[in-house]
Homo-oligomer: A and B are copies of this chain.
Amino acid sequence: MKVFGVVMAGGSGTRFWPLSRKFRPKQLLNLTGKDAMINEAVARLKPVAKDGIYIVSSKSQREGLLSVLKGCVPEEHILLEPVARNTAACIGYAAVKILKEEGDGVLVVIPSDSYIKNTEAFMRALSLAAETAEEKDAIVTIGIKPTFPATGYGYIRFEEGEEPVRRVLQFVEKPDLPHAQAYLESGQFVWNSGMFIWKASLILKKIEKYLPELYQYLMRLKDAVGTEREYEVLESVYPEMPSISVDYGVLEKSDGIYVVPADLGWSDVGSLDMLEAVRTTDADGNITVGETYPLDTHHTIIYTGGKPVCTVGVDDLIIVDMPDVLLVCSKEHAQDVKKIVDELRAKGKEELL
């Protein structure tokens, strides 16, 4: 059976502001110092998704996306949503497109904005998941072995056993700290990585069952795929689609899901402090990008998009100096950067977003 990669790249990533912007979302940034996140995601998928890689992004990000991809994914494999409608619609769109143009196959669906250190382990986990998805015609997810009691991720509880692939017992929303600690200690939970491996035909069956309204729109879209009406229908049906996550709309309601627990050196790059996971620190624990002069400065992230940045006697800060705006944030408050974005939007400062 064929295996396709689907990279979900529609996010805007306001918690990464001001590095990320409306037209330069997180996945287009070169956060590791090596390559843009989306290019790294595509490169990681290639050995597994031997029959081709699709990217689902948004119409507004087209230009930025093309300039970053530099042709490493053919333009006809780039699906552009007219508006964002969450992951169920995104995956459904990819499924009808691939099913109609390429026939059925296993879709390895991954987010574009995760960082994965252990590439080998990632390939092994995906290969195993793709085999399982084909053999059992089941939904398979990748679960990340937790390394700390994270309260910012969803968890997946799996059946005890020795096999490398386990039955999923339960999806759990982001827990509080005591629960997260219990999950970590039990050894029976993994983090939900947002990676799903299933056949295009199964995706549509599941959506038909659990999200029938979305299914109707997807069928209208499927009819138009490959015809000269495709763009017009996409533009007209997409805004009508319900906006719901595939986790909540399909997975939490389904039975017979499998998970491959894996140790990937994974990070979801959810906010600016995650730069620490992907960059090398200096002797004082600082991460600096650009011309910086840190003095008596510790555990601080300094990114400058141009001019020199000098720091004196500061700890645990995130400083992002862009040509048009400056952010100075404590690491503790890295998640609150989206509040600033909200405030700027409320004050009509669209040009900064």
Contacts and interface: CB of A to CB of B under 8 A. Distances in A.
Interface stretch (A42-50, A139-147, A254-262, A301-309): A301-309
A27 to B, nearest CB: 23
Range, interface on chain A: 20 to 34
A340 B307 contact: no
A340 B293 contact: yes
Contact of A330 (B313, B327, B333, B352): B313
Interface string A323-352: 111111110110011011001100001001
A352 B323 CA distance: 17
A311 interface: yes
A339 B339 CA distance: 35
Given A304-B326, A326-B326, A336 B313 contact: yes
Nearest to A328: B311
Nearest to A312: B329
Contacts of A304: 326
Given A319-B328, A328-B319, A312 B340 contact: yes
Contacts of A343: 293, 295
A317 interface: yes
Nearest to A18: B310
A333 B343 CA distance: 31
A339 B308 contact: no
Contact of A311 (B293, B329, B344): B329
B321 A326 contact: yes
Pairs A-B, 7 closest by C-beta atoms:
A313-B333, A313-B330, A312-B329, A309-B326, A312-B333, A310-B340, A311-B328
